[in-house]
Amino acid sequence: MNISKVIAGVMKWGTWGAKFDTPSYEHIIKESIARGVTTFDHADIYGDYSTEEEFGNVLRKEPSLRRQMQLITKCGIRRPCVNRPQFKIKSYDTSLAHIVESVETSLKNLGTDYIDALLIHRPDFIMDADEIANAFDRLKEQGKVLHFGVSNFTPSQVSLLNSRFKVEINQIQASVAYLHPFTDGTLDQCQELGIIPMAWSPLGGGNIFAAEDDERMLRISAVAEMLATRYNSSPDVVLLSWLLQHPSRIVPVLGTSKVERIQSALTASELKLEREEWYMLWRASTGKEVA
């Protein structure tokens, strides 16, 4: 799958964050593409099921932009809100009917006839691997989805689905402040099976540099600041570089709505930490030397 070095996550572009109007969406889309950030990460639920359509308004206005980008979207969460009054409680649905219906709605909202990658947003505790595979086979045969993957799945859950179809992506929470994928087998499995790990919240949701009395975050921040000074960079770029150096080839999903943050993130691939420097950040996160 063709994806950019970093991915623009759109979750906070709409009503859940910046509340962009159409010109604002158009500006950040074009500025991202101009800088080489051509992959955009969606989910049907973002903005209470409104962000895809808001983004799609730009593509309907300028269809040529679609050929310059890759669109990822996710489905499988049923979230009660004004736009989905038929959902009584929050739940998961990975039935064939729901997946197909969700894709049809996303295609319409995004103003496109295909999605580059579809991810199951969360593990469904009663998911049927064969039914998901059937849905994916149908969508691929119809040319409506080109690639498939998951989000927030454990290694055993990925193994189950990978026994039915090729899992190409696992979008996971990963950062120096969230180390579980490094120790629970998730990133090992990505290397083993050639799965692309995409990291959401790659900077710890902004908590690392905002902490005032969290000793762990203060340790991480102090080391990041020291390395940023050493490399004439910035702490956020250092932490993105830390992720990028993992051999599973993690791709960060940026949660920002600011072009300058996107621009800054692109420099992370140019910064190469020494091995001991990488482990300085690991030690700052865990609070102890490795065993």
Distance (Å) of CA 277 to CA 84, 274, 282, 283: 48, 5, 9, 10
The CATH number for 93's domain is 3.20.20.100
**Is 16 within a domain?**
yes
**Is 213 within a domain?**
no
Q: Which residues of the chain have pLDDT under 70?
A: none
Contacts of 202 (CB under 8 A, 6+ apart): 174, 175, 239, 240, 243, 250, 252, 253, 254
Q: Which domain holds residue 25?
A: 7-167
- What per-residue confidence (pLDDT) applies to 44? 98
Residue whose structure tokens are 């669109």: 71
Closest Cα partner for 139 from 54, 52, 73? 73
**Is 197 within a domain?**
no
- What per-residue confidence (pLDDT) applies to 49? 98
Residue 76 in 3-state DSSP? coil
Q: Which residues on neighbouring strands pair with residue 257, listed in sequence order?
A: none
List pLDDT tens digits, range 167-206. Answer: 999 999 999 999 999 999 999 999 999 999 999 999 998 8
Dihedral angle computed from the Cα positions of residues 69, 175, 49 and 52, in that order, rounded to the nearest 10 degrees: -10
In percent, the amount of the chain with pLDDT more than 70 equals: 100
- What per-residue confidence (pLDDT) applies to 99? 98
When divided into structural domains, the chain yields a total of 1
**Is 237 within a domain?**
no
Residue whose structure tokens are 């920002």: 256
Contact, 252 vs 8, CB < 8 A?
no
**Is 178 within a domain?**
no
- What per-residue confidence (pLDDT) applies to 211? 77
Which residues are annotated as catalytic? 46
- What per-residue confidence (pLDDT) applies to 207? 82
Q: Count Cβ atoms below 10 Å from residue 172 Cβ, excluding itself.
A: 24
Residue whose structure tokens are 């989000």: 151
- What per-residue confidence (pLDDT) applies to 221? 96
List pLDDT tens digits, range 20-60. Answer: 999 999 999 999 999 999 999 999 999 999 999 999 999 99
**Is 160 within a domain?**
yes
Q: Count Cβ atoms below 10 Å from residue 215 Cβ, excluding itself.
A: 9
**Is 189 within a domain?**
no
**Is 21 within a domain?**
yes
